[in-house]
Amino acid sequence: MKVKLTPRFTAKIRQSKYSFSRVVIKQLKLCKRPRFWLAIALFSLALLCTIGPLKVVLDRDILITHILADPCCQAILFILLFVFLTIIGIPGTVFVIAGGIVFGLFWGTLWSVIRATLGALAAFWTARYLFRDCTESKFSKNKILAKFKQAVVRKPFSFVFVIRLIPISPFNLENYLFALTPIHWFPYTFATLLGIIPGTIAYTWLGVTGNEALRGGDLLPFFLALAFLVLLSVLPICLSKKKSI
């Protein structure tokens, strides 16, 4: 016996199929978004650190006696922590000074340069590929962005290098602005690496000499480090004015 379906019931079936198809298409579109996979990665990391094998990292005793006691682990944690802070836009100047206090002038400078370069690249990629819409809506009306776009078209490497030479410039803001320009990630990263070295040395030296001065040491190295930092801050501005004249 054949069951005859009423037109109303048939319409409901078609509507339910259409609604199901819309839900499937919506979910597939969601899976293509980088933010979706970022959320999955953060959720997975949270599970690993709470109930998974990485929960030992959150154990205070293990953290102090094993991880923080190892200089290599200290450097890795220093780099990873401040890469994350750079991505979310927290200024890292204080931490560069702290790196000088903890690691000394040479190693503090090295770890800070690596950390700042990786952080700048991570923030650049995050702003360009993951949160492009959010970054554009926030900085599209920024007057500096137009100048950045014009400059990177003409001299991408030189422009990034000169900007990074100024140690008092807003490092995190520059990462987001460069992400909205057409510059390729390689000259951006290489110019950042070279450009931040003098400023990183100055801040690390300031941390080392400041710590020694607080302990009753000689004040002259501290003032020399401070003078070096001021010179680095003023020199690029003076050179740019001289060229314009």
| Within-domain flag for 114 | yes
- Say how many domains are in the chain: 1
pLDDT at 238: 66
| Within-domain flag for 96 | yes
- Token readout for 86 is 């750079």
pLDDT over 70 percentage in the chain: 67
**pLDDT band at 24; cut points 50, 70, 90:** very low
Query: How buried is residue 104: exposed, middle or buried, by Cβ count under 10 Å (0-12/13-18/19+)?
Result: middle
pLDDT at 11: 53
DSSP letters spanning 35-101: HHHHHHHHHHHHHHHHTSGGGGGG-HHHIIIIITTSHHHHHHHHHHHHHHHHHTT---HHHHHHHHH
Residue of 113, 33, 22, 108 whose CA lies nearest to 71 = 108
- Token readout for 178 is 């460069």
pLDDT at 43: 58
pLDDT tens across 124-167, in order? 998 888 877 777 777 777 778 888 888 888 889 999 998 898 88
pLDDT at 20: 45
CA 143 to chain centre: 22
Segment 65-73 long-range contacts (CB within 8 Å, at least 24 positions apart):
none
Query: Over 50: is that where the pLDDT of 192 sits?
Result: yes
| Within-domain flag for 161 | yes
Domain holding 218, by residue range, is 70-244
Instruction: Give the pLDDT mean for 183-206.
Output: 93
| Within-domain flag for 3 | no
pLDDT over 90 percentage in the chain: 22
pLDDT at 191: 94
pLDDT at 113: 94
Q: How far apart are CA 196 and CA 162, in angstroms?
A: 10
Q: Do residues 215 and 101 make contact, with C-beta atoms less than 8 angstroms apart?
A: no
pLDDT at 119: 92
Residue of 42, 111, 44, 43 whose CA lies nearest to 75 = 111
Q: Do residues 98 and 107 make contact, with C-beta atoms less than 8 angstroms apart?
A: no
Instruction: Give the pLDDT mean for 205-225.
Output: 88
Q: How far apart are CA 241 and CA 151, in angstroms?
A: 16
Task: Report the b/e string of 80-97 with b at 16+ CB within 10 A.
Answer: eebbebbbeeeebeebbb
| Within-domain flag for 101 | yes
pLDDT tens across 61-96, in order? 554 555 556 677 777 877 887 888 888 888 888 888
| Within-domain flag for 56 | no
pLDDT tens across 112-127, in order? 999 999 999 999 998 8
**pLDDT band at 245; cut points 50, 70, 90:** very low
Instruction: Give the pLDDT mean for 187-212.
Output: 93
pLDDT at 95: 84
| Within-domain flag for 23 | no
Residue of 127, 174, 130, 170 whose CA lies nearest to 152 = 174
| Within-domain flag for 8 | no
The model's pTM: 0.71
